[in-house]
Amino acid sequence: MSAVALLLSPLWLSWKNSFFRGASSWSRRLLLAVLALCFWSGTYWVIRRVLRYFETVYDLGPALAYQLLLIILLTFLSMLLFSNLVAALSTYFLARDLDLVHAAPVSADGFFFARLIQTTVNSSWMVLFFSLPIFAAYGAVFGGGWMLYFWVALILPLFLIIPAALGAVVTHLLVYFLPAKRIRDVLFFIGLIAFVVMYFLFRFSQPERLVQPEAFGNFMQFLSAMEAPSSPYLPSSWSAEILAGSLFQRQTEQGFFFALLSSYALFLPLAASWVSGAVYFDGWSKAQESRQGRRKLPWLDWLLDAATSFFPQTTRAIMIKDIKTFLRDTTQWSQLFLLLALIVVYLYNFKVLPLDRSPMPAGMLRTLVSFANLALAGFVLSAVAVRFAFPAISLEGKAFWILQSAPISLRALLWSKFWLNVVPLLALGELLVFLSNILLHVPSWMMTLSLITVCLTTLGIAAINVGVGALYPNFNYENAAEIPTSFGGAVSMILSVVFIALTVAIEAWPIYQLAMASLRPGRVLAPPVTLIAPSLLAVAILTAAVVTISLRLGINRLEKLKD
Amino acid sequence: MIELIHLTKRYGRLAAVDDLDLVVPAGEIFGFLGPNGAGKTTTIRVMMGILKATSGQVLLDGHDVVSAAQEAKAITGFIPDRPFIYEKLSGREFLEFVGKLHRVEGTRLNRRIAELLEQLELSAWQNELVESYSHGMKQRLVVCAALLHEPRILVVDEPMVGMDPRGARTLKDLFCALARSGTTIFLSTHSIGIAEEICHRIGIIQKGRLIACGAMDDIRRQASASAGNLEDVFLELTRTQAGTEPALE
């Protein structure tokens, strides 16, 4: 067995054993498979619908579809670059089996290439999973036949290995040159900033212009702009050129671009192995040295004391511990940058919404969009909550025994986690809804209704995530990021979405009535409270039930951990 | 034979290992003692090529652990203090993996696995996933893994932690038998009883420096303690040396 295959054998053996001998039940796996299939089919359906729409634009369809392909591949490439940086740091420098492997007579090249494959697989499987329905949709709409799938099969491994090799080189050099152990923080910042910048670039490049050809001077100008890649030096553009040859029957130099792609895909791993050979041992040795101490921040202690002074002493102690742990773990709080980017892009969408070009009356449309925004904000809150609130109990990790053996009730523990998560989620939800309503110029009754509704849904979403997080705790995680992607995380997300759907369904009828009132002459400026109040009361009752049941279930599960 | 030549490892200004000179001849069990944070684990990690020394050299049977890393590691077995085992592998799969890393394959590998599992009383558990093993069983599995390739040198960091008396006895007997057959054993431990019972020579490290080294009688002489057991001698030596010059530079 070659050294590379041998070094990879624990991975696939672990997968095999987890699959055939793991504890998770077949019904759970079936549910996950159904969820994955839904995502897969959903992606296929959406992309196919968009491409069909493009196809209806006479003469321009293929050019628009090509631009979309470029954007999709560029997005994949940026995601791959980012995830490979993080994955390479983990596989080469932080993995728990490194001592075992380095104490054995393993060749440096064998080790490097085995870890490169591991890095590529870890960081690329999701991109691979979502890219397949996209290529299938392109194939279904534009044809391309078996040649398309032949090219996809040839291109994808090359397209995935290039960012993986780049990620490995950058990680090796960063670990070698930067101070020991600060590397994880630094890398996270670099990756995060790169991701946010790319996200902004993508958003501000205004892909919606694809459906607004009037923005260009004349048709030929538009067509030529649409048929050329925006960044000709990127592997994503080379891949798009190759696929365009099969899809759109365009005269492209498929052979040339394939040679370009494969030469980079062969050269970069080789170059990366040379770099690794030169710097790996120094970097690895450095990466094990202890982290430097942190400065004490008296003002933070004072602030935390003041902010939590309303709570009982034990709840307060847990909250302060959680906040400090969160702030000191860069991998946790640096994700707030992503959240910031999300808010800006979210609000930007409302700013550019072409409501005035709609044939519907603007007043009514604004109310309806604002209502739809409640559901959307609820969805965003669910996604954020599953990332931050769901792991609340699991993050106690192997130190959970301290809380278990302390004289505090599990009820107090879960409630403290609940309130700790409600505060930031509420701030986020209210901010999103308030600012988007301001941009939409909604009437004051809609603003009031929205703010009260989002307050209630936040309480429900936080309770679902904290409760279900306690229902499916994972105290043996290796990386905190794996907690929300578990089965429990999926259950939490589904329940949150169902809860939002129920809330929206309860409020839909009165809002529809009030929105329609604006169409009638002598429109209602201040709607009767009697119309909204019952539905708000119903939502409040639903929220109270959701909060009580979720936390009760969570507490019961934690009680059973003692058995 | 193990040779540590002017070995130094610094973390910034802190010298975790400071100019360590040591020779352990073949067939000897060398006990490496010291208080917490004295530099024992750092020394071992440098010896195994897991950490890079700031200066100095480690030779394992004449092979430099940096410039001839593969040769040095091929003849050495390592039992770390907090061993990692792939939890989702069965005990047997784990041993097969480690054996192949050390180029032990085919019938020799199967024979060695069977022998060691039998010796360390793990045969009945070999096809169970490691995640279901107790702490002591995991320790014994790591011992099996370290001995698969019949190493000429065995480096051991805190071997008895979490082991029951029967497991500890088996291990001590095993080390003695290995030493008799010519294996050099470098044994870092907190347990003075174990060191006194099985080690031919003892070295005491404090603040990265070797403050005493030799057979029991030599150590006693160095501690100026004519009577008393190793625990008294250890406490005497580490007390005398404590608070002298700090290892910071």
pLDDT digits (tens, 9 = 90+) for A410-454: 888 899 899 999 999 999 999 989 998 888 888 888 898 899 999
Q: Please state, in angstroms and rounded to a whole number, the distance separating the CA atoms of residues A145 and A142.
A: 9
Residue with tokens 């301001």: A438
For chain A, the structural domain boundaries read: 3-287, 351-560
Question: Which of A15, A17, A281 shows the shortest C-beta gap to B52?
Answer: A281
Structure confidence by residue, pLDDT tens digits, A230-263: 667 788 888 988 888 888 777 778 889 999 999 9
Q: What is the pLDDT of residue A214?
A: 57
Q: What is the pLDDT of residue A511?
A: 83
Confidence check: pLDDT of A290 > 60: no
In B83-112, the residues whose Cβ lies within 8 Å of chain A are 83-84, 86-90, 93-94, 97-98, 100-103
Mean pLDDT of the region B32-38: 88
Summary mean pLDDT of chain B: 86
Q: In what order do the strands lie in the sheet with B209-214?
A: B76-79, B153-157, B184-188, B29-33, B201-206, B209-214
H or E stretch including A9? helix A3-21
Asked if A6 reaches chain B (Cβ–Cβ under 8 Å), the answer is yes
Q: What CATH topology corresponds to B1-75+151-249?
A: Rossmann fold (3.40.50)
Tokens standing for residue B14: 């802190």
Backbone angles phi, psi at A2, to 5 degrees: -70, 160
- Distance between CA atoms of A190 and A183, rounded to whole angstroms? 10
Contact: A14, B100; criterion CB under 8 Å: no
Contact A375, A436 (CB under 8 A): no
Alpha-carbon torsion (B60, B64, B66, B72), positive or negative: negative
Question: Helix (H, G, I), strand (E, B), or coil: what is residue A330?
Answer: helix
Q: What percent of chain A has pLDDT over 90?
A: 26
pLDDT of residue B249: 36
Is the predicted pLDDT of residue A112 greater than 60, yes or no? yes
CB B201 within 8 A of CB B28: yes
User: What DSSP string describes B73-134?
Assistant: HHTEEEE-SS----TTSBHHHHHHHHHHHTT--HHHHHHHHHHHHHHTT-GGGTTSBGGGS-
**Is residue B36 classed as helix, strand or coil in its secondary structure?**
coil
DSSP bridge partners of B154? B77, B185
Helix (H, G, I), strand (E, B) or coil at A526: coil
Q: Is B142 exposed, middle or buried (0-12, 13-18, 19+ CB in 10 A)?
A: buried
Contact A100 B83 (CB under 8 A): yes
Stronger pLDDT, B244 or A131, i.e. the higher one: A131
Is residue B247 pLDDT above 50, yes or no? no
Crossing angle of the two packed helices B91-101 and A3-21, in degrees rounded to 10? 170
Report whether A416 contacts A315 (CB < 8 A).
Answer: yes
Q: pLDDT tens across B123-172, in order? A: 999 988 888 888 888 989 999 999 999 999 999 998 777 778 888 888 89
| Mean pLDDT of all residues in B56-76 | 92
Asked whether the beta carbons of A175 and A283 are under 8 A apart, the reply is yes
pLDDT at A450: 92
Cβ neighbour number for residue B87 with a 10 Å cutoff? 17
Q: The dihedral of CA B208, B213, B219, B222: what is its sign? A: negative
Interface predicted TM-score (ipTM) of this complex, two decimals? 0.79
Estimate to the nearest angstrom the gap between the alpha carbon of B186 and the chain centroid.
5
B161 part of contact set with chain A, CB < 8 Å:
no
| CA distance to partner chain A, nearest, from residue B27 (Å) | 21
Beta strand B63-64 with B209-214 is unpaired
Q: How far is A143 from chain B (nearest CA, A)?
A: 44
Is A505 exposed, middle or buried, given 0-12, 13-18 or 19+ CB atoms closer than 10 A?
Answer: exposed
Q: What's the token pair of residue A63?
A: 């050019």
Q: In residues, how long is chain B?
A: 249
Does residue B193 carry a pLDDT above 50? yes
Tell whether A103 is within 8 A of chain B (Cβ). Answer: yes
Residue contact A99–B50, C-beta within 8 A: yes
What count of other Cβ atoms lies within 10 Å of the Cβ of residue B25? 12
The DSSP 8-state label assigned to residue A408 in this structure reads -
- Element spanning B153, H or E: strand B153-157
Q: Check residue A194 and give its pLDDT.
A: 67
Contact between A7 and A110 (Cβ < 8 Å): yes
Considering chain A, what is the average pLDDT of its residues? 82
Bridge partner list, B153? B76, B184
d(CA A552, CA A556): 6
Question: How far, in Å, CA of B80 to CA of B40, rounded?
Answer: 12
**Cα–Cα distance measured from residue A348 to residue A339, given in angstroms and rounded to the nearest whole number:** 14
DSSP code of A360?
Answer: S
Question: What integer pLDDT is reported at residue A198 of this predicted model?
Answer: 65
Beta carbons within 10 angstroms of residue A101's beta carbon: 20
Inform me whether the C-beta atom of residue B74 falls under 8 Å from chain A C-beta atoms: yes
- Chain A / chain B CB contacts < 8 angstroms: 77
The winner for highest mean pLDDT among A308-317, A357-366, B176-185 is B176-185
Residues of chain A contacting B83 with CB distance shorter than 8 Å: 100
Instruction: Supply the angle between the helices B135-147 and B165-180 in degrees, to the nearest 10.
Output: 10
pLDDT of residue A399: 79
pLDDT in tens, A176-228: 887 655 666 666 666 666 666 666 666 655 555 555 555 555 555 665 655 65
Q: Per-residue pLDDT for A358 more than 60?
A: no
Best to test chain A binding among B95, B97, B98, B105 (most A CBs inside 10 Å): B97
Cβ of B69 and A105 within 8 Å? yes
Q: What is the model's pLDDT at position B248?
A: 40
Cβ <8 Å between A100 and B84 = yes
* Chain A residue closest in CA terms to B87: A14
Q: Does A282 sit within 8 Å of B52, measured CB to CB?
A: yes
The residue count for chain A: 563
Residue B61, pLDDT score: 93
Q: Report pLDDT digits (tens) over A79-95.
A: 888 788 878 888 898 88
Which of the pair, A70 or B142, is modelled with greater confidence? B142
Over pLDDT 70: what percentage of chain B? 93
**B14 inside 8 A of chain A by CB:** no
Task: Please state whether beta strands B201-206 and B184-188 pair in parallel, antiparallel, or not at all (unpaired).
Answer: unpaired
* Domain chopping of chain B, boundaries: 1-75+151-249, 83-148
- Specify the DSSP element, H or E, that contains B19: strand B14-24
pLDDT at B58 over 60: yes
Residue A151: pLDDT over 80? yes
- Who wins on pLDDT, B214 or A28? B214
Q: Which two tokens stand for residue A31?
A: 């549910």
Residue type, B244: T
CA-CA distances (angstroms) from residue A95 to A286, A524, B153? 15, 64, 26
Q: Which residues contact B57 (CB under 8 A, 6 or more apart)?
A: B3, B4, B5, B6, B7, B64, B66
Task: State how far the Cα of A98 lies from the Cα of A119, in Å rounded to an integer.
Answer: 14
Instruction: Count CB-CB contacts under 10 A for residue A247.
Output: 25
Residue A104 is nearest to which of B93, B94, B101, comparing CB atoms?
A: B101
Q: The tokens 């009383």 sit on which residue? A: B121
- Residue type for position A263: S
Q: What tokens does B218 get?
A: 């030599």
Asked whether the predicted pLDDT for residue A309 surpasses 80, the reply is: yes
**Rounded distance, CA A469 to CA A391, Å?**
6
In this predicted model, what pLDDT tens digit does every residue of A122-140 receive, in sequence order?
A: 888 888 888 889 999 998 8
* Distance of residue A296 Cα from the nearest chain B Cα, in angstroms: 21
Strands B184-188, B153-157: pairing is parallel
pLDDT at A199: 67
Pick from A90, A63, A243: which is nearest to A158 by CA?
A: A243
Tell me the average pLDDT across A482-500.
87
**In degrees rounded to 5, what are phi and psi of residue A529?**
-60, -30
